[in-house]
Amino acid sequence: MNGENRFKALVSRLMIIMLVALIFPRTGDVALSAEEKTDAAASHSADFDLPDVPEGRYTYADYANAHAGAAQPEREIVIDADTYTSADGMEMKKFDNFEGVQGVSVWTDEQGRIEWEVDVPETGMYNMSMLYYPIEGKSSDIQRSILIDGQLPFAEAAYLQFYRIWTNLSDEIKRDNRGNDLRPQQTEKPMWQEQIFKDVEGYYEEPFKFYFTAGKHTITFISQREPVVIRHIRIYKENPLLPYEELLKRYEAEGLTVTAGHMIEVQGEDAVSKSSPTLYPISDRSSPNVEPYSPSLIRVNTIGGFNWRVPGQWIAWEVEAPETGLYSIGLKVKQDFTRGVDSVRKLTINGEVPFKEAEELRFNYRSGFNMELLGGEDPYLFYLNEGKNVVKLEVTLGRLSPLIREVETSLLNLNAMYRKVLMITGTAPDEFRDYQLEKKIPDMIGVFTEESARLTAVAKQLESMRGERSDREAVLLTMSDQLLDMVRRPETIPRRLTAFKINAGGLGTWILQAREMPLEIDSIVVASPGKKLSKGSAGWFSKMRHEVTRFAYSFFIDYNEIGNVADEGAKRSITVWIGSGRDQAQTMKAMIDDTFTPESGISVNLKLVQMQYLLPATLAGQGPDVAMQIGNDIPVNYALRGAAADLSQFADFNEVAERFRASAMVPYHFDGGYYALPETQTFNMLFYRKDILKELGLEIPQTWQDVYTLLAVLSKNHLEFGLPLALQPQYPGENIPPNSVYAALLFQHGGQFYRNDDKQSDLDSETAVRIFKEWTELYTDYKLPREFDFANRIRTGEMPIGLSDYTTYNQLTVFAPEIRGLWGFVPVPGVVKEDGTIDRSVPSGGSSVLMLEKAQDKEAAWEFMKWWTSADTQTKFGREMEGLMGAAARYPTANIEALGQLPWPIADYKNLSAQFEEVKGIPEVPGGYFTGRHLINAFYKTVVGRTEPREALTDYVQYIQEEMTFKRIEFGLPTE
């Protein structure tokens, strides 16, 4: 009987899907066709799309294997930049003898393409490099894609990256008025560089080689991010490095002498240049043996650490050698970040790697700081010229790179197989049914067997590299064992899908962690061989004294204070509370002390505080003058209680408000006043997996009718469409905003949340009820999931499309490198209007900066708020945050001009801008906190409680209406 009921339910569900597909046909030419979509672009994207990579995901390893027997000719071909044959979609400029380099250089824009023609005299594999000058842009690394004869040769060729050069703004470390060192600001130090084309992820030890047949070819650069000046492109053969023993014989033959009696020590924080602004000098208080040292005050004394972990990042120091000759090099380092895997660095001296072994210098896991002599007990000898020499260390994966590639390949194959299984069993398989997966997916057993063997081999290689087993192998062996067991017992696969998915997610985490190679440097010592170096580590007594002293000082130092503290005699000062992390607060305080205070004469006491304490502190008269990074619901609620200042009282308020879109100001407006300025503004975008949609023959939905058609296909294949449901409060009592999907549907159909000058809820209107029914039917009829981790599900592919906050872009960029290029985001689906255009309205969220009514100097507080929300400040802060914490911290500023100055790839920024044009704000009203709360209550009563949608919503709207009326009466506001 149960089986019969399940069959009837299945038939009913299929009939509903078919009826919806018939009732809501696809809307003609609104959506893109699958054929028009390429692997690297979708609708609303850049003007110049990349052609498909041969055979789908065709990696450099595949490309190199395909041309393994090709010769490597000893030839060099130089293509002058000004000899380009065509340039489309970009602004071009030519410069004679630019920045000291003879000849004509070409300025290329951050978008468009440029093409050269080259005559290659001999067939073979060639390296390529580019001589470039990183002119001012958006402070991000330069990114280009390269085409050979109009084709992308392999997937990684779409992501060539060229670094900028950074240095400390000042050679001297500044201090605040409490005696603490301030983190040095970073500034660009542009100079000509020749960089060989290589993998940006570091997955390949050797630089790329490109196959050319004899004859004429075209080389095309497609701009993805940032402008750059190019002098030439070089096609040549990179000569292999000599092993150390052979180089030593050459030194002896050339009569190079070993120096004697010299020791030069360079502090790590005195680096002259680095590849990223994240590589700023830092403070380490974990050891008394660092230089300089203080148990109580902050001292900038090391460099690197966790920020210096990504392949390709480098730091350079200048070493003044007293005489020409051979020296040994020691590094006082701390590598207690990654247990089980060494941190690897490549050493160059004066731009060249001296010998083969210097490409892979390994630093083992050890606690605290230690002196590491390069070469160990029999240290390497390095040739230095008399005078200044540049010593550079670059993060590299070394022998780990092919192993990471193997695990990534395994993960992609297993995720693809997981989706195939999912298409048959669904996400909740019947544990009593034999799906006969081994027959329906003929290659499943073979794939599982092959991937099990691959992961086992990688684990064994890791163990042999370290000489012992660590937790790094455990993840791989767990997945391998599960695969072997599923091969032996395929009938158990359906009920083990959850464990399989978790273990596959563990492989993704393993890849991320394996790529990270942190290393912290206190000093570099260049010494004559035989010179005795200090151990670098502190003794037991020194450590104990250090910890006791630090503990004692903690009773007297307020660690919530950031940077300079206003003196009692300061003419004008304000107190500002910020609720974010210490890194953000320190960055902000540095900007305040560098620009705002000197220009305005207003001192700022910046305090790091948890924002749930703002209300009790304000009621107790201990609150700040200005509160930052607070939720959209707080300003109006504070204003009702006379705690927030009306900003419209200032003469230049309207001018300041023009910095933001009108939608950003909506939540802060009430009863003719404005009670905050927006800091950030976020909204939903449509994220999708390009490869999976292409595989299923699906189009990117442009309208909600397209979504219904797409849902039928996804449901047939047991895949999911993601719609965000409810935000979780970060602390007790935090307001829950109205659901973003319901709000988008409501706005797109001309609805609103409140009527009668925001005195009453409009959720009982016919439009609101109809949209509520349509929204809930997505979950009752189409069984959309209510709770899920969107980033993980789009990563595995089980949710190949869905709506999510646009900051998810940052998360996927950093935490899902294995699907790079396989996903994108576009504006959300909308509703076709009478004029044929599509209304893609979405609601926005964000944070704001608020002035308290009790602020003693409101003019000073207003000056600070204007400074903070200005385009220059927001741009600088956004770039500083991304430089400090990487792309995952890209700042979602509400300032229109500043958003355009942040380092978005041009195609993605176009999509973002298109959606930004249709963002709408949701008003905050007295009692409005019931709106989001009871909207979700009505949703669950309908979807889970099976109550009729109209009845559920109208019941809860009564509660909303009553609360709004009660609050208006409480605050003496008219109710009619």
- Tokens 């035989």 label which residue? 530
- Residue 52 tokens read as 């498909």
**In this structure, how many other beta carbons lie within 10 angstroms of the beta carbon of residue 320?**
12
- CA within 13 Å, CB half, 868: 28
Sequence-separated (6 or more) residues with CB below 8 Å from residue 716: 17
Closest residue by Cα to residue 329 from 524, 523, 520: 524
> pLDDT band for position 291 (50/70/90)?
confident
- What's the pLDDT tens digit per position in 819-857? 888 999 999 999 999 999 999 999 999 999 999 999 989
- Round to whole Å and give the CA distance between 49 and 40: 7
pLDDT at 525 over 70: yes
φ, ψ at 120 (rounded to 5°): -95, 120
As beta bridge partners, residue 631 has 847
Q: Which residues pair with 394 in a beta bridge?
A: 314, 346
Contacts of 862 (CB under 8 A, 6+ apart): 647, 650, 851
Placement of tokens 């919806």 in the chain = 20
Q: What's the rounded Cα separation, in Å, for the pair 237 and 124?
A: 10
Over 60: is that where the pLDDT of 32 sits? no
Strands 801-805 and 721-722: parallel
Element (H, E) at 935: helix 929-943
> In the predicted model, is pLDDT for residue 9 greater than 50?
no
Calculate ∠ Cα 664-581-289, nearest 5°: 155
DSSP reduced 3-state for 801: strand
CB 235 within 8 A of CB 120: yes
DSSP assigned state of 270: G
In this structure, the strands spanning 831-832 and 721-722 are unpaired
Long-range contacts of 134-137 (CB under 8 A, 24+ apart): 134/162, 134/163, 134/164, 134/165, 134/188, 134/190, 134/193, 134/226, 134/228, 135/107, 135/190, 135/227, 135/228, 135/229, 136/188, 136/190, 137/110, 137/226, 137/227, 137/228, 137/903
* Total number of residues shown for the chain: 976
For the record, the structure tokens of 478 come out as 């767990």
Query: For residue 464, what pLDDT is reported?
Result: 86
Residue type, 137: G
666 closest CA partner among 926, 922, 931: 922
Res 741: pLDDT = 96
Q: Which residues pair with 521 in a beta bridge?
A: 303, 333
- Structural contact between residues 822 and 795, judged by C-beta atoms closer than 8 angstroms: no
Choose from 55-59, 266-270, 727-731 the range with maximum mean pLDDT: 266-270
pTM, full prediction: 0.83
The rounded mean pLDDT for the chain is 87
Rounded mean pLDDT, 752-772: 95
Question: Alpha-carbon dihedral of residues 196, 202, 206, 208, nearest 10 degrees?
Answer: -50
* Ramachandran area for residue 945 (φ above 0: left; ψ -120 to 50: alpha; else beta): alpha
Most confident of 463-472, 501-510, 545-554: 501-510
Is residue 959 a contact partner of residue 926, using CB atoms and an 8 Å limit? no
Contacts of residue 74, defined as CB under 8 A and 6 or more positions apart, other chains included, come to: 237
In the chain the first and final C-alpha atoms are separated, in Å, by 58
- Name which of 208, 183, 222 is nearest 301 in CA terms: 183
Task: Lay out the sheet containing 113-120: strands in order across.
Answer: 86-88, 113-120, 215-225, 142-148, 160-162
CB 643 within 8 A of CB 618: yes
> Reduced to 3 states, what is the DSSP secondary structure of residue 316?
strand
CA distance 460 to 447: 20
Give the burial string for 60-96 (b: 16+ CB within 10 Å, else e). Answer: bbebbeeeeebeebeeebebebbebeebeebeeeebe
Buried b (16+ CB within 10 A) or exposed e, 853-866: bebeebebbbbbbb
CB 678 within 8 A of CB 658: no
Which residues neighbour 400 within 8 Å (Cβ) at sequence distance 6 or greater?
A: 341, 344, 465, 514
Q: What values do phi and psi take at 361, rounded to 5? A: -90, 125
How does residue 537 score in pLDDT terms, banded at 50, 70 and 90? low
552-561 long-range contacts, CB within 8 A, separation 24+: 553/295, 553/296, 557/296, 560/607, 560/608, 560/609, 561/178, 561/605, 561/606, 561/607
Structure tokens at 652: 């230049």
Give the least confident one: 96-105, 546-555, 594-603, 743-752: 546-555
Encoded tokens for 453: 């063997």
- Cα gap 249→243, rounded to integer Å: 10
CA distance 720 to 713: 10
**Average pLDDT for residues 803-823, to the nearest whole number?**
89
pLDDT at 653: 96
pLDDT in tens, 341-392: 889 999 999 999 999 999 999 999 888 899 999 998 889 999 999 999 999 9
- Helix, strand, or coil (residue 616): helix
pLDDT value at residue 125: 97
pLDDT at residue number 612: 79
The confidence score (pLDDT) of residue 546 equals 65
213 alpha-carbon distance from chain centroid = 39
DSSP 350: T
Q: Supply 970's token pair.
A: 């409480």
Query: Using one digit for the tens of pLDDT, what is the confidence trace for 442-452?
Result: 999 999 999 99
Note the pLDDT of residue 500. 92
**Which phi and psi (to 5°) does residue 869 adopt?**
-90, 5
Is it the case that residue 34 has pLDDT exceeding 60? no
Categorize the per-residue pLDDT at 565 as very low, low, confident or very high, splitting at 50, 70 and 90. low
Long-range contacts of 468-474 (CB under 8 A, 24+ apart): 470/339, 470/340, 470/341, 471/339, 471/340, 472/340, 472/341, 472/510, 472/514, 473/340
pLDDT in tens, 425-437: 987 888 788 889 9
Angle, helices 949-970 vs 929-943, to 10°: value is 160
* Percentage of residues in the chain having pLDDT higher than 90: 63
Token reading at 465? 């590299």
| Confidence band, pLDDT 50/70/90 cuts, at residue 191 | very high
Rounded to whole angstroms, the Cα distance separating 725 from 937 reads 12
157 φ, ψ (degrees, to nearest 5): -70, -10
CA pair distance 935, 943, nearest whole angstrom: 12
Are 513 and 338 a contacting pair, CB within 8 Å? Answer: yes
Label residue 387 left, alpha or beta by phi (over 0 means left) and psi (-120 to 50 means alpha): left
